[in-house]
Amino acid sequence: AQSVAQPEDQVNVAEGNPLTVKCTYSVSGNPYLFWYVQYPNRGLQFLLKYITGDNLVKGSYGFEAEFNKSQTSFHLKKPSALVSDSALYFCAVRDELDGDFNKFYFGSGTKLNVKP
Amino acid sequence: DAGVIQSPRHEVTEMGQEVTLRCKPISGHDYLFWYRQTMMRGLELLIYFNNNVPIDDSGMPEDRFSAKMPNASFSTLKIQPSEPRDSAVYFCASSLGSSHEQYFGPGTRLTVT
């Protein structure tokens, strides 16, 4: 069965420091992996995706994520956090071998707090 | 493009009343998804359409919920009768064919008292 785990409910980081938001997944086939960000009272916004190719994916607002097949992880990273990065972050996966490939499986979300 | 449009943004209703949520997907997108977000259950897929046809409604909680997509530019999610446990934020999202990412609307915050 497909699943996504975001082990941290909340991540706290000081502005200017690097940040990491963790995500691990479980799928039957090759994963299609995504990160979304949700600001208060807003819908989810697409940040980046991994489909195939280079394991390091660059996305919007200076975020990047690294696909690690052996660890089944897709952690979101940013070299230098901004206060404006404070939001709720969701990891999602689609399973290449899922009978219903159109379905996304979302993690529970990680709240990122960046303090000045 | 204006993105995915949802209305109303906020809805407060009394238990037992009918509630209709509306969504206009991004023009040209052929997939439309309805999600519900709560603190307890996170983000849940309720139903999705492809070319206006419902493909998977296994996430619809019960018969009180129904969704329609009469044309490519409009979808509704109806709850009748509504109950306090239906209180949540309901999101509509759309995507294009083989494109991989979904684009979300701003959501409708539903409160049933």
Q: Whole-angstrom Cα distance, residue A73 to residue A60? A: 20
pLDDT at B39: 87
Q: d(Cα B47, Cα B27) in Å, to the nearest integer?
A: 20
Of B80, B103, B96, B95, give the one whose Cα is nearest residue B21.
B80
Choose from A44, A89, A96 for mutation: most chain B CBs within 10 A: A44
CA atoms within 13 A on the CB side of A50: 28
- pLDDT at residue A77 in the model: 98
Q: Could you report the per-residue pLDDT of A67-114, keeping only the tens digit for each? A: 999 999 999 999 999 999 999 999 999 887 766 677 888 999 999 999
What's the CA angle centered on A5, arms B56 and B57, to 5 degrees? 10
**B48 with A49: Cβ contact below 8 A:** no
**Rounded Cα distance, B23 and B44, in Å:** 17
Chain B CB contacts of A94 below 8 Å: 100
At A25-80, the pLDDT tens digits run 998 888 899 999 999 888 899 999 998 888 999 999 999 999 999 999 999 999 99
pLDDT at A29: 84
Instruction: Identify the closest residue of chain A to B44 by CA–CA distance.
Output: A106
Pairing status of strand A73-78 against strand A56-58? unpaired
Give the number of other Cβ atoms within 10 Å of residue A98's Cβ.
17
Contact A13, A20 (CB under 8 A): no
State whether B55 and A102 contact (CB < 8 Å).
yes
Residue among A5, A11, A8 at smallest CA distance from A112: A11
Which pLDDT does position B1 carry in this prediction? 64
CB contact (8 A) between residue B100 and residue A102: no
DSSP B84: G
Q: CB-based contacts of A107: which residues, under 8 Å, 6+ apart?
A: A4, A5, A6, A23, A90, A91, A92, B42
Cβ of A104 and B102 within 8 Å? yes
Contacts of A41 in chain B (CB under 8 A): 106-107, 109
Dump pLDDT digits (tens) for B9-34.
999 999 999 999 999 999 999 999 99
Rounded distance between C-alpha atoms, residue B3 and residue A30, angstroms: 30
Task: State the Cα angle at B62 between B60 and B63, rounded to 5°.
Answer: 110
Residue A43: phi and psi, rounded to 5, are -80, 175
Phi/psi for B97 (5° steps) reads 35, -115
Closest Cβ–Cβ partner in A41, A102, A106 for B43 = A106
CA distances from A35 to A17, A95, B107 (A): 20, 15, 19
Amino acid at B44: E
Task: Check: CB of residue A113 under 8 Å from CB of residue A86.
Answer: yes
Asked if B5 and B24 touch (Cβ cutoff 8 Å), the reply is: yes
What are the residue ranges in chain B where pLDDT is below 70? 1, 98-99
Q: How many angstroms separate the CA of residue B38 from the nearest CA in chain A? A: 10
Work out the minimum CA distance from A60 to partner chain B, whole angstroms.
14
Among A34, A41, A102, select the one facing B101 at the smallest CB separation.
A34
